[in-house]
Amino acid sequence: MSRLEQLAKQRLSQRQDTASTKTNTNDNTKSVSLLDKLKSSKQGNTSAPKLSLAERLQKAKQSQQTKTESNSNSNTLSSKLHSLRNRNQTLKTQNADKEPSKESSERTIHETETAPIEPVLSPEVVGIKRILSIFESVVRGKGKSSSSITQPRYNDITIPIKKNESVTRSKRALENLHSVYIPPTKKISIQRNFNKPSPDDIAIEAQAQAFTEVTNKVSNLHIKPPKRLQKKSTPETKKERISMDQYMKTNSSLPTLSVVTLGHEGSGKSTIIGKLLYDLNIFNISTINDLKIRLERSQYKNDPYLFWSWLLDYDQKSSQVMEKDIRTKFVKYGRYNYRICDVPGNKAALNDNLFMTLSQADVGILTVDCGVDQFENGFNSNGQIVEHCILARTLGIPRLIIAMNKLDTIDWYEERFMDIKRELQSFLTTIGFQEDQIDWIPCCGILNTKEDGIMRPVYNQMCPWNANSKSIVDILQDQSVVLGAHKKSMIEEESVISIDEITSKQFTGYVKSGNIQCDDVLNNVSDSQAYIIQKMWRDKDKLSVAVPGDYITINYETISEDGSEQSLAQRGDILTSIENQEIKFRPAGPLLLDIEMFPIDEGIVDLGSRWKAFINGQTYDIKVTKILDRQDNIMKVEVETTNPIIIFPRDNCIALRNKLNKTVGMGKLIS
């Protein structure tokens, strides 16, 4: 043996000794060599023979089938029984394969004879057996009487449900196994829900209740007619009315007389009225002195008497002269009450305010400038003398005073006076005035004396040809007596007042007829709104009774019996007593008119002619639809209106105006 072989054997034996020591002591050493690993693997593989590929596939297939079967049937009752049988069979085969000794076999035989073999079962199998025993007892007890079946008793448990309520809860009885199991707590809630009304019952009950409510409302429904057709009811007055006989005896003053000025611009209307009020001592001396100082500082300082025309336009609070507009002043002279209205003489002032003022006037003072060419300028087609005269005739002014002013500028020349009188009188009779309705007064508004034809007749030395003439104030006093007696006859008639201005607390208006006292109730003809009179004033004097001709301010309170929305009256509305059935509210539609066209106008009346008609305080648009009769300038026509009209039993005068704002005719309502 060579030296190398001896060294190799020696190393091999050393390695074997180290490997045996490592295995015996279980110490952690370095890994064995590759040769040792191969030897050990050969020795281990000899005990387990290798399987062929077909055998391994068949074994994997069988294991897969068993897994699927166990997964699919593990939860069912049959699968559990099947697994129990397989387990018993495996146990038997295992016992059979074993070769026990004689002593052990005799012992087992003796044990099987004395006591049955009870295999160890899983909890699942025990539960399944218990269920099967329960089913068998139920099936066996079908043919027997209920008394022979002994049912197990269970401990009852009392569970509180609500306050002062409890329910006894027990396990499920055998006879309820084939039905739907409902816990006792659920049964109580179900019973409560069934005792409650269903949604259908609630809907039906709500419908029935709604039907009864609607029935009650419909049965109590009261359809009211329009306000103008409703019966007018008078609430109880708070106190007795004043006797008018005693009132007229104790109050010697006559009813108020309304006076309005007419004439062309610059004819001296404001000067005559200012001089009249100055002579009647209506204004304070301080007011007159203030106006004189203002006049001296103005551009009109060369006209020392101009301040008289400023008296009605002067505002003492602001110390300013206001622009020309309709000015009203209340005057009491002796036993007479006057309402004097001064209107501007330009064409722009022809509006509803002027028409309303003229329709309320009793006397008109037409001022004529008798200076050279001044009357002709005011009387031609562009002047306002013709227009104001036509309006006075159309709107029913019964008396006309012609104030022939500024005669001092022509040295009181009588022929000039007579020429103007002849021409103007011919025109006035043409439009319908009578001679006894006209008075001619020569005057001068700038004389610093009362004998100027305004307060007293003109001084005889200045105008000897007018010795028997009267002054303007004298004629007004005479007319106060005549017209006052006529107004006294209207005191016992139904109360009627026309509204000029109205606010939420008070209105101002002109009393046409009747007598109005505090606590009286008046109805609006347009919408039947009731107003109760609380307080009354004429100018600044408090009144207890208002008679025809008075221009008064009233504090009122609206009345609404049904609680409906209260409407506010408008300008031009008519308030009357509830018992008055003569004033009618005519709806929009056809109307019959008797009209007279003035010969000074060249307008042609034909079908389709359109006018502005001023009727009883309001302006309406009318259109001619039929011409029933025609005799020169007088004709009977049918017109159509778009707005309702208030019709009085009398004094239904109409002023017809064309598109150029010019009065072309007058008329009267027939029906």
> Running DSSP on this structure, what letter comes out for residue 330?
E
Looking at residue 154, its pLDDT comes to: 40
Q: Which domains does the chain have, with CATH numbers?
A: 245-487 (3.40.50.300), 493-581 (2.40.30.10), 585-669 (2.40.30.10)
Looking at residue 23, its pLDDT comes to: 52
Rounded mean pLDDT, 461-484: 85
pLDDT of residue 79 exceeding 90: no
Looking at residue 29, its pLDDT comes to: 43
Could you give the CA distance from residue 249 to residue 126 in angstroms, rounded to a whole number?
A: 129
From 31-35, 300-304, 351-355, 650-654, the region with the lowest mean pLDDT? 31-35
Two tokens, residue 247: 């009132």
Rounded mean pLDDT, 102-107: 50
Q: Kindly give the interhelix angle for 53-73 and 77-97, rounded to the nearest 10 degrees.
A: 130
Looking at residue 442, its pLDDT comes to: 92
Could you give the CA distance from residue 105 to residue 111 in angstroms, rounded to a whole number?
A: 10
Burial class (CB in 10 A: 0-12, 13-18, 19+), 285: exposed
> Which pLDDT band holds residue 165 (cuts at 50, 70, 90)?
very low
Rounded mean pLDDT, 642-658: 81
Q: 363-369 and 399-405: which strand pairing?
A: parallel
> Which pLDDT band holds residue 196 (cuts at 50, 70, 90)?
confident
Two tokens, residue 566: 């209260």
What would the pLDDT profile of 31-47 be if each residue is shown by its tens digit? 455 556 655 555 554 44
- Residue 364: strand, helix, or coil: strand
Looking at residue 368, its pLDDT comes to: 93
Percent of the chain predicted with pLDDT > 90: 9
Nearest C-alpha neighbor of 417 from the set 437, 397, 398, 440: 440
> Running DSSP on this structure, what letter comes out for residue 568?
P
Q: 541-543 and 363-369: which strand pairing?
A: unpaired
Looking at residue 151, its pLDDT comes to: 43
Looking at residue 20, its pLDDT comes to: 61
Burial 109-142 (b: 16+ CB within 10 A, else e): eeeeeeeeeeeeeeeebeebeeeeeeeeeeeeee
Two tokens, residue 127: 């539960």
CA angle 358, 360, 362 (to 5 degrees): 90
Beta bridge partners of 364: 260, 400
From 79-83, 391-395, 421-425, 619-623, the region with the lowest mean pLDDT? 79-83
Percent of the chain predicted with pLDDT > 70: 74
Looking at residue 21, its pLDDT comes to: 59
Inter-residue contact 522 to 575 (CB < 8 Å):
yes
From 71-80, 397-406, 438-447, the region with the lowest mean pLDDT? 71-80
Burial class (CB in 10 A: 0-12, 13-18, 19+), 553: middle
What would the pLDDT profile of 57-75 be if each residue is shown by its tens digit? 777 767 766 655 555 545 5
pLDDT of residue 607 exceeding 70: yes
Higher pLDDT, 240 or 636: 636
Could you give the CA distance from residue 187 to residue 170 in angstroms, rounded to a whole number?
A: 13
Higher pLDDT, 487 or 61: 487
What would the pLDDT profile of 537-594 be if each residue is shown by its tens digit? 888 888 888 888 888 999 988 876 655 556 777 888 888 888 887 888 888 888 888 8
